[in-house]
Amino acid sequence: MASLGDIGVSAAINILTAFTFLVIFAIVRLQPFADRVYFPKWYLKGQRSSPVKKFVNLDFRSYLRFLNWMPAALKMPEPELIDHAGLDSVVYLRIYWLGLKIFVPITFLAFAILVPVNWTNNTLERSNVNFSDIDKLSISNIPMGSPRFWTHVVMAYVFTFWTCYVLHKEYELVASMRLRFLASEQRRPDQFTVLVRNVPPDADESVSELVEHFFLVNHPEHYLTHQVVYDANTVATLVEEKKKTQNWLGYSELKYSRNQSKRPKRKTGFLGCCGEKVDSINFYSAEIDKLSKEIEAEREKVRNNPKSIMPAAFVSFKTRWAAAVCAQTQQTINPTMWMTEWAPEPRDIYWHNLAIPFVSLTIRRLIIAVAFFFLTFFFIIPIALVQSLANIEGIEKAVPFLKPVIEMPAIKAVIQGFLPGIALKIFLIFLPTILMLMSKIEGFISISALERRAAAKYYIFILVNVFLGSIITGTAFQQLDNFLHQSANDIIKTIGVSIPMKATFFITFTMVDGWAGVAGEILRLKPLIIFLLKDFFLVKTEKDRKEAMNPGSLGFNTGEPQIQIYFLLGLVYAAVTPILLPFIIVFFGLAYVVFRHQIINVYNQEYESGAAFWPDVHGRVIAALIISQLLLMGLLSTKAAAQSTPFLFVLTVLTICFYMFCKNRFESAFVRYPLQEAMMKDTLERTKESNFSLKGYLQNAYIHPVFKGGDDDDESYEICEEWDEESVVPTKRQSRRNTPLPSKHSGSSTPSLSEANL
C-alpha cells in the first residue's frame, strides 16, 4: 500500500501534467490560427470573425494574462448563459456544482470528526500487517467491535441527510428552471405538436386522410393540421454521398488553384486506386450532377409512393392546451394504436426510428436488454480471445515470412507490451458508440432520449466493470458467478472489506482519469489537428472554414456517467477513508471551470431538451448513496459491529423513500406539460397577437431535413438555418445582434475577441 509520500509524488506528477495542459492551452488559444478551434461557438453565432491573417500571436503582453480565461469563464451569469448555450448546458454544469455543494461540507465534517476518531487508535501499529499513513486515517485503524464505529454510523446519517437535502434543493431548482425556461420560450412548433405513432392500416384511406379524420372527430375544436412522416432514409444516404463528393471537388479545386500548372487527376476505379485516370474536377462535377439528379428522382418517388409514408404523423393543434391534452391522454381502446406523445423539437428528432411498430419495440428492447447484459458481464471473453491470437506466436504462425522482423528485440518488446492491451483499448474507445447503437436499435425517436438511454447503459457498465471490477479483482463474469453462489450478506461483506484497501488506487484514478482528463478536454488536441489539416487541404471560402470547425457538443451519453463515478467514490469513501474527498473536490472544481469555459466558447448545442436528463442524474446520485450505505453495512459487520446493521438498513429505507418522494413531487415536471401553464401561454398569446397565422407557421415545421429547400442542398441548409433561428433557439439573440453594443455581462467573449485581434 502506498504511503502518504507516494500519494504526494503521484499527486505532484498529475498536478504537473494537468498544469502543463492548461499552460499549453492558455498559450495556444491566443494564436490566431487556433482561434476557430477554441472559440467556435462565437463564430457559429456570428459574433466573431476570422482575425487578421497572422499565424502566430506575437504580442507578448497578452501572454501575461494567459490564465484570465478562468475568471472570464466564471463571469457570465446564469440567465445569460441559458440564452447563450441553452438550458441543457447550464443544468449540465450544475451537476459539477452539485458535486461541490455535496462534498465540500462533507469533507470539512469528515476531517473534523472522522479523521481524529480514526487516527487516535493504534490497531494497525499493534497488528503485524503492513500499513501506511493513509490507512491510519481510515476506518481500518479502529479495533474490532469498538464503540467508535457508532461515529461512522452517525456520520453516514449526517452525510446522507446532507446529500438528500442538497439533492432536493437542486431538483426543486432545476424543475423551476425548466418550467421558467419553457414558460419564457417564444412560440415553438413542438409546443403545438404531438407525434402520433402506430396509425392503424386502413384499406380505404391513406394515412394522411386517416389522421385528419381521426383528429377532426376526436379533437374537433382543436385540430389544426398534420404532417405525415416519409421513409426518406435512401434520400438521406444520397445527400450524404453528395456532400462527400463536394468535399473532394473542393479539395481538387483548391489543389488546382495553388498549382495552376497541373490539373489534379484521379483514377475512376475502386477507391481511386485503379482504372483509367481522369481529370478530378470534371469527374467530381459530373458525379455531383448525377447525384443531384438521383436525389431529385428519389425525392419524387418518396413523395408519390404511398408505401413510403410511414404510419406516423405530426399532428398540430390550435392551442398549446389542446396539444397538452392530446399528448397526455389515451386515444383509443387499444393503447398500442394511435399512440400520442409530445413531439420533440425538430432538430432533436431521430428520423430513422419513427416508424417502428409497437410489437417490434417490445422485442427490440428485450433483445437489447439481453445483449447489454452479456456485453457488461462477458465483454472480456472476446477480448481475451483476440488477445490470445494477437501474441507473438500467433502472428508468427499466421504470417511466417514476418518472423525475422518480429524477432527483432525492439519490435518484439513493442508487440509484447502493446498488443495485449490494444484490443481492450479499442473496445473501450468504441464502447459509447456501441451503447448508442444499442439505444438506437431500441427505437427511441429523439436524440436527447437516445443520449439519456446510452448514458444509463454506460453508467451500469462503469459501475460493474470499473468500480466493482477494481474492488473485487476479477472479471465481471467471475463476479456474477460469485454473486449467484454467495448470500446477499456475503456479497456485501466481500465488497465492503475490500473498500478501505482500494483507497489509494481510487485516489490515483481520480488524479489520472479526472484531473488530467479534464485538463486534456480543454486543450482539444484532436479537433485542433483536424481543423488545421482541413484548413490547409479543403478550405476555400469562409463557409468552408465554418464547416471545418468541429465545435463538438457536451456528449451527455459519455460525460455524465463519468461524473457519476466520482459521486459514487466520494459517497462510498466519505465514511471510510475521508482522505479521498479533497481529490474529488479538486476534480469537481476544475471540471466546473473547464466545462463552463467550453460551453461558453466551444460546444455547439445540438438540441434543447430543457434539462430533461435531470431525473436520471438525481436517480444515479441516490443509487450511489444506497451503494455507499450497503457497503458500509458490509464493512462494519466484518468489524464485529454488526449491531449497527439495522440502523444503516433504516437509513437505506429512508433514502429509498426520499427517492420516491422526489419522483412523485418533481418528475412530472420533466415528463408532462401542465394544462394551467399551457392555458396561460395560450391566453397571453391570443391577446398579444390575435391575427397570427399559426397554420402557416406550423405547416412545414416537421419536414424531414432532406425535403427542405427543394433542389439545392445549399439552399436547404440555409433555410434550415434561418428556420432554426426564427423559431427553435430562443429569446434575446436577435435583439442582441441588432444592438451593436455587447451585452453588459459578456465579459468572457469580448476580451478574448479583442485579444485575438491585437
Shortest distance in whole angstroms from residue 313 CB to a copy of itself: 16
Residue by residue, what is the 3-state secondary structure of 711-753?
CCHHHHHHHHHHHHHHHHCCCCHHHHHHCCCCCCCCCCHHHHH
What whole-number distance in Å separates Cα of residue 512 and Cα of residue 473?
20
Considering the complex, state which of residue 218 and residue 750 has its C-beta at the smaller distance from a copy of itself: 218
Residues binding a copy of itself (CB under 8 A): 179, 217-219, 221, 321, 324-325, 328-336, 338, 358, 362, 366, 370, 483-490, 653, 657, 660-661, 664-669, 672-677, 679
C-alpha cell, 575 = 465514511
| Smaller CB separation from a copy of itself, 331 or 743 | 331
Least distance to a copy of itself from the beta carbon of 468, Å? 17
* Grid cell locating 152: 461512522
Cα dihedral sign, 89-95-100-102: positive
Nearer to a copy of itself among residue 533 and residue 656 (C-beta): 656
Rounded alpha-carbon distances, angstroms, from residue 113 to 104, 116, 221, 574, 575 = 14, 6, 66, 11, 10
Minimum CB separation of residue 519 from a copy of itself in Å reads 40
Give the angle 20-22-26 at the CA atoms, nearest 5°. Answer: 115
Output the smallest distance, CB 146 to a copy of itself, in A: 25
CB of 680 to a copy of itself, least distance (A): 9
420-424 long-range contacts (CB < 8 A, ≥24 apart) are 420/387, 420/390, 420/391, 422/390, 423/383, 423/386, 423/387, 423/390, 424/383, 424/387
Which of 278, 337 has the CB closer to a copy of itself?
Answer: 337
Count CB-CB contacts under 10 A for residue 283: 21
CB atoms within 10 A of CB 70: 15
Please check whether residue 318 is in contact with residue 694, taking contact to mean a CB–CB distance below 8 angstroms.
Answer: yes
Nearer to a copy of itself, 334 or 754 (CB): 334
Least gap, CB of 735 to a copy of itself (angstroms): 28
Q: Cβ of residue 669: shortest distance to a copy of itself, in angstroms?
A: 6
How far apart are CB 184 and a copy of itself at their closest, in Å? 14
Name which of 220 and 409 has its Cβ closer to a copy of itself. Answer: 220
Nearer to a copy of itself, 191 or 280 (CB): 191
The single-letter DSSP state of residue 29 is T
DSSP state of 551: -
Report the 10 Å Cβ neighbour count for 165: 13
Residue closer to a copy of itself by CB (options 204, 221) is: 221
Rounded to the nearest whole angstrom, what is the least distance from the CB of residue 320 to a copy of itself in the complex?
Answer: 12
Strand partners, 223: 317
Report in angstroms how near the CB of residue 603 gets to a copy of itself at its nearest. Answer: 29
How distant, in Å, are the alpha carbons of 168, 171, 337, 564 from that of 622? 11, 12, 36, 10
Residue closer to a copy of itself by CB (options 285, 328) is 328
Report how far residue 642's alpha carbon sits from residue 311's, in angstroms, rounded to the nearest whole number: 60
Q: 10 Å Cβ neighbour count for 510? A: 23
Min separation Cβ 605 and a copy of itself, Å: 25
Tell me how far, at minimum, the Cβ of 723 lies from a copy of itself, in Å: 30
Residue 381 or 399 with smaller CB distance to a copy of itself: 381
Shorter beta-carbon distance to a copy of itself: residue 138 or 319: 319
Report yes or no: 53 and 143 within 8 Å, Cβ to Cβ. no
Contact 130, 3 (CB under 8 A): no
Distances 184 to 191, 392, 620, 630, 682 between C-alpha atoms, Å: 12, 64, 29, 43, 13
Q: Beta-carbon neighbour count of residue 723 at 10 Å?
A: 18
Tell me whether residue 336 or residue 638 sits nearer to a copy of itself (CB atom).
Answer: 336
